[in-house]
Amino acid sequence: MNREGQVTLDSYRLAQYAVQVPCYICSGPNTFDAELCRNCSAPMALTYQAETQKVHPRILSCIGTSGVGKTVFLGMLMDMLSRQPDDMRLLARGAFSITLQQHTVAALARCEFPDKTPNEPERWNWVHCQIHQTRRRKPIELIMPDMAGEALIEEVDHPDTFPVIRSLLTKSAGVMILIDASTLSGGTSDQDYFTMKLLSYLLELVDDPKHGWHQRPVSLVFTKADESESCFENPLEFAQAHTPGMWRHCEERFQKHKYFAAGVAGACANVRRSDGKLGRVPLRIEPRGIVEPFRWLIEQVWS
Amino acid sequence: MAPIEQAIYASRRTDHATGYHLVVASEGVTDDDAHALSVWGPSHDSLVEASDEAESINFHPLPSGSYCISRTRRTGTEYSGRGDEVYTHCLVVPVEVLARFSNNPFALVRAVIADGRIEIREHTPRCLPGFALRGKASPVDRHLLEELVSELGREKMSSLIDESLQYDPLAIVTTRDARRLMEGLLNCLPLGHRPSFSFATGLKPSPRRPFRVQCLPKELKNLRQVLRHFESAVSDMASPQKPAGDGGWGHVVTSAIVEKRCYMLSEELRRSCDKHAEAHLQELTARLRQRLNETGDTRSDDQQENSFRKRRQGVSRVERCRSDSRRTRKRLEPSRPMLRGDAPHIASTTRAEPAASVDEDIYADPAQQLGQDRPELIEQLELLDDTVFEAIAGKPSALERLKTLWPQTLSALGMRNLEESREQYLRHARAVWDECAISDGVRNSEQSLAALSVISLLLDDCPK
């Protein structure tokens, strides 16, 4: 007795691996089912989402040294923009884009600062979002990574240690550089030196005189400004007084730059932990000056 | 003897950086090696286990040709108060030192820990010295291998050995003690293969740390995602038994363990120390199989060990007799003046002594030498110990007593016999003083003053 049957050939699946998918951040080749880029460890979801858009997303970077408050700043910024029914609203694209906001808000609600961001890029939080503005018909597509400060300094000191940082900063349309105002007020000038290093690194990244970093917008944000009221009153004067090297660098080499002051915790306290070590905790959440640097950057990039 | 260099990778605020970085390194660590240590260094929340006692032993090559053996642990809250600090003490080990320990990083780590060299330092030291490490290790720890084979079963052990030689990278998923498992696996590998087996026993996998073998706990939260992302072959020790490959290296090694003839494995591994090639592994497999199948040699490990012990006992008896006769001869000889390294040679009046007896004089324990003839001196040394430590602890009467006791003991025994004790006293006093000086909170000025007084007393009487 003969019977006819149909057998599905699965060999076509192998053909999918023959087509390489370039990473959106570093353009490195990946397989179609890769979760993270094998070259720079950026999530491949960014690439798949970008492919579905007519207009490719732009990258805005938030950089600064370790402990300056990048995670808190970005998490709070996302939280504020996603809630406020103002002229600027944020919509996260993809579940991974909400993790940063979720972790930050949950930690602050427990009167704690969020855990340190690890150095390993595959464990960073990434945000892919749409910014809706009332005066723009089409939303703006944005990618913002939350990088580790140690990784940034390591890359600046030893270029190509973190390929993802180099690719990100080369492609970024603008950058927010975070500077710790509380340590500056305490008379330490480390932040001035670190920021000058970052600014020099940016200038060396792109040689093109038309599209180099001296033409791209840079917002310089003094964080933890709640511990130094004079910083809130006049960030420019604060920069001239406490970070003269950085101020001179920006004046001479960056055409578009502006100083801001921001603070998330209204007040902080030192607590002694169970192991006897001191830790800093926020006593209340009182965000100030969080949206302004971002709004200025958006206006500069899409003007 | 080539020194072992060291470095600490942790989250600290130092003059040159904040957060996770190489906070201090000994002078012999090259720039390239320092950079590699920073790249491989595990940062925040990198340990797979969440307990306070969790640790990872890691091993990987360095650009200079040396190897890094490191131990990663949690040390409590990190400097900025954002979670626990992950602290890694790295040892930069030259090839020849690793070879002395049969290319077994675990054996070397044990020796370094026993020497008190690896410890968690709450305060970042200004400098970290390189150090020489004595000792060696045998290629095979048969007791460990026997335990592992009885726990895992012969088939699993055999397939683990073969998979580790076959796949790069390999993730070993286990519910057991990863450190023991990894050490057991290394014990089964030819000596020439061991340096190429970079591994971590308890770190989360990362593309920045391309270890060849990674041990992962079965209960790791995102285990499937991790395995998928890192595209590593998986050897699941928790899965049902797998059929072992017949005739491969793993099979032959487990046969030697099961038949209690690890001495054969050890002897063959010793012979094969510098070779790495695949062909050599086949040759080694064939040779070991042939020895196991030979009917002539049917001794077990226990029999081999007993005969070895008897041989050693015989040798020790002879040595003891020789040393007794030497001691008797020495008592009959007139006492010689103290030997100093910088002193001129003593004019020889008789025939030169054999080199062995001079060595004995230089290296023998001073307390042992003194105690043989005058046991009351040992008591005096013990009294000195108690007084010094009480004085450092801040007891005023002890300090007063020490002011008379130290010169008395010094004149009775001489600086040569007290030098080692004095070094230990100074080290302890210095540690106490450092602790008081660097303390974050309330500083104990009384104790630091006591430590300082003891230091000055011990140094004042030092011969210039």
CA distance B414 to B155: 64
- Interface-testing mutation among B9, B11, B20, B47, with chain A (most A C-beta atoms within 10 A): B20
Question: In degrees, to the nearest 5, what angle opens at C-alpha B461 toward C-alphas B457 and B464?
Answer: 130
Which residues on B lie below 8 Å from A265 (Cβ)? none
| Strand (E) or helix (H) holding B142 | helix B142-152
Task: For residue A48, give both structure tokens.
Answer: 């798949």
Q: Is there a domain that residue B349 lies in?
A: no
Task: Domain of residue A47: give its range.
Answer: 14-52
In a domain, A4, yes or no: no
- Tell me what pLDDT residue B313 has: 58
Q: How many CB atoms lie within 10 A of CB A74?
A: 24
Same domain for B151 and B275?
A: yes
> Residue A259 pairs with which residues in a beta bridge?
A220
Closest approach of B72 to chain A, Cα-based (Å): 15
CA distance B9 to chain A (A): 12
Q: Over pLDDT 90: what percentage of chain A? A: 62
Q: Do B44 and A118 touch (CB under 8 A)?
A: yes
Same domain, A178 and A34: no
A258 and A122 in a common domain: yes
Judge if A210 and A111 occupy the same domain.
yes
- Asked if residue B329 is part of any domain, the answer here is no
| Mean pLDDT (whole number) for B3-31 | 92
Nearest C-alpha of chain A: how many angstroms from B409?
A: 41
* Residue A2 included in any domain: no
Q: Are residues B148 and B97 in the same domain?
A: no
Q: Are residues B110 and B150 in the same domain?
A: no
**Mean pLDDT, residues B200-228:** 88
Report whether pLDDT(A72) > 50.
Answer: yes
Q: Are residues A65 and A37 in the same domain?
A: no
> Is B162 domain-assigned?
yes
B253-281 pLDDT, tens per residue?
Answer: 999 999 888 888 888 887 766 556 667 88
Residues of B within 8 A of A65 (CB-CB) are 18-19
B82 lies in a domain?
Answer: yes
Asked whether residue A19 falls in the same domain as residue A63, the answer is no
Same domain? A43 vs A105:
no
- Does A77 reside within a domain? yes
Do the domain assignments include residue B363? Answer: no
Is B4 in a helix, a strand, or coil? strand
Q: Are residues B80 and B195 in the same domain?
A: no
Domain assignment of residue B430, yes or no: yes
In this structure, is residue A144 part of a structural domain? yes
Q: Check CB contact under 8 Å for A190 and B225.
A: no
Residue B127 is assigned to a structural domain of this protein: no
Q: Looking at the 3D structure of chain A, how many domains does it have?
A: 2
Asked if the structure places residue B28 within a domain, the reply is yes
Rounded to a whole number of angstroms, the distance from the CA of B443 to the nearest CA of chain A is 14
Q: Are residues B286 and B413 in the same domain?
A: no
Burial class of residue A16, CB neighbours in 10 A (0-12, 13-18, 19+): exposed
A156 and A45 in a single domain? The answer is no
Residues B94 and B208 in one domain: no
Asked if residue B164 and residue B228 are part of one domain, the reply reads yes
Nearest to A226 by CA among A69, A66, A64: A69
State whether A269 and A137 are in the same domain: yes
Distance CA B85, CA B27 (A): 25
Residue A5 lies in a domain: no
Of B19, B77, B80, the CB nearest to A275: B77
Query: Is A279's CB within 8 Å of B229's CB?
Result: no
Residue A261 in domain: yes
- Please give the DSSP secondary-structure letter assigned to residue B12: E
B311 or A302, greater pLDDT: A302
Q: Quick one: B166 and B100 in the same domain?
A: no
Confidence at A253, pLDDT banded by 50, 70, 90? very high
From CA B15, how far away is CA B12, in angstroms rounded? 10
Q: Per-residue confidence at A121, pLDDT binned at 50, 70, 90?
A: very high
User: Is the model more confident about B377 or about A236?
Assistant: A236
Q: Are residues B161 and B269 in the same domain?
A: yes
Instruction: Give yes or no for A119 touching B (CB within 8 A).
Output: yes
Residues B79 and B210 in one domain: no
* Top-confidence residue, A97 or B382: A97
Nearest CA in chain A to B86: A118
B19–chain A nearest CA distance, Å: 6
pLDDT at residue B362, as a whole number: 39
pLDDT > 60? residue B250: yes
The answer on pLDDT for B109 being more than 60 is: yes
Q: Are residues A135 and A270 in the same domain?
A: yes
Which among A224, A154, A234 has a CA at the least distance from the CA of A188? A224
Q: Is residue A294 domain-resident? A: yes
Last residue within a domain, chosen from B293, B321, B350: B293
Residue A1 lies in a domain: no
- Tens of pLDDT, residues A132-178: 888 888 889 999 999 999 999 999 999 888 999 999 999 999 999 99
Domain boundary among B241, B274, B293: B293
How many separate domains does chain B show?
3
Query: Does A117 lie at the interface with B, CB-CB under 8 angstroms?
Result: yes
Residues A48 and A62 in one domain: no
**Among candidate residues A52, A81, A98, the one where a domain is terminated:** A52
SS3 A59: strand
Q: What is the pLDDT of residue A200?
A: 95
* Interchain contact, A119 vs B208, CB within 8 Å: yes
Closest CA to A243 of A286, A206, A189, A165: A189
Task: Give the residue-averaged pLDDT of B193-202.
Answer: 94
**Domain boundary residue among B248, B269, B293?**
B293
DSSP string, A178-204: EEEHHHHHTT--HHHHHHHHHHHHHHH
Same domain? A212 vs A83: yes
* pLDDT at site A268: 86
Same domain, A270 and A154: yes
CATH of the domain at A218: 3.40.50.300
- Total residues found in chain B within this entry: 464
Last residue of some domain: A52, A71, A98?
A52
Size of interface A-B (CB pairs under 8 A): 96
Asked if residue B158 and residue B98 are part of one domain, the reply reads no
Q: Would the CB atoms of A158 and B35 count as touching at under 8 Å?
A: yes
pTM of the full predicted structure?
Answer: 0.74
Range of the domain at B399: 373-460
Residues B320-378 have pLDDT tens digits of 555 555 554 444 444 444 444 454 444 444 443 433 333 334 344 555 556 556 667 77
Regarding whether B289 and B164 lie in a shared domain, the answer is yes
